[in-house]
Amino acid sequence: MGENERTDGREERSDRTVQMLIQSARSAFASVGFAAASVRDIAGDAGVNPALVRYHFGSKDGLYRRVLGEMMSQLSDRLRAAFRPDGSPRERITRAIAAYLDHLAEHRDTPRLIQRALLDADPTVREIVNAHHRPLLQALEPFQAGEIATLHVSAIEEAVTSLFGAIVAPFLYAPVLTELFGHDVLSPEAMDRRRQHISALVEFTLDQLLPSELGHA
């Protein structure tokens, strides 16, 4: 075996270790928060030596920042793709909301991780979320020009807040809703119904805010 092959093998194992630690940490931070999450437990769940947390991330705080950074980077990449300039304002907003819902369906612990950090008054999550959520502001651009510039900003804010709540609520309250309704509210079938409901809610909201000639331009 050549030196390059040995090096590539070590790098591949190192990359796998990093990803396993990130996944284990993400689950732990979402479940119990930063303070209560144990490096030993995170490493044990990943099946690696706890010393590797310091080796790869410097500290638990470094691992935490990496988890939050990767999580928000993945989401913002999807949103940037959804906000591409082609299509009408309605189409761009609809794409963005669909991308957000798809991301949460694939990464269900995202809302809980952010919520727990906010409840802990964690300044790190505000810094990272604000940096990566800037693309969301592009959703408001269609409301700031031309014929709809006179729309009161409070109407836009209320619409954004309502849609955001409708998207994240099932992920935050899944255990309670599952027990209440008697079925898994995050199952593929339930998520399909949720997408249809969100789509109808989006259409209704946009009909109220966007003049038809602009919304479908």
Helix, strand and coil content of the chain, in percent to the nearest 5, comes to 80, 0, 20
Q: What is the pTM of this model?
A: 0.76
The angle, 0 to 180 degrees and rounded to 10, between the axes of the packed helices 174-181 and 153-172 is 70
| Of 200, 167, 168, 170, nearest in space to 185 by CA | 170
pLDDT tens over the chain, length 217 residues: 555 544 556 666 788 999 999 999 999 999 888 989 999 999 999 999 999 999 999 999 999 999 988 888 888 888 888 877 787 777 888 888 888 888 998 888 888 888 888 888 878 777 777 776 665 565 555 555 544 455 556 777 788 788 889 999 999 999 999 999 999 999 999 999 999 999 899 888 878 776 554 445 4
- Within 13 Å of residue 215, how many CA atoms lie on the same side as its CB? 14
Rg (CA), the chain: 21
Task: Report the C-alpha gap between 171 and 108 in whole angstroms.
Answer: 6
Domains and CATH numbers, the chain: 1-58 (1.10.10.60), 70-215 (1.10.357)
DSSP for 63-97, please give it: HHHHHHHHHHHHHHHHHHHHT-S-S-HHHHHHHHH
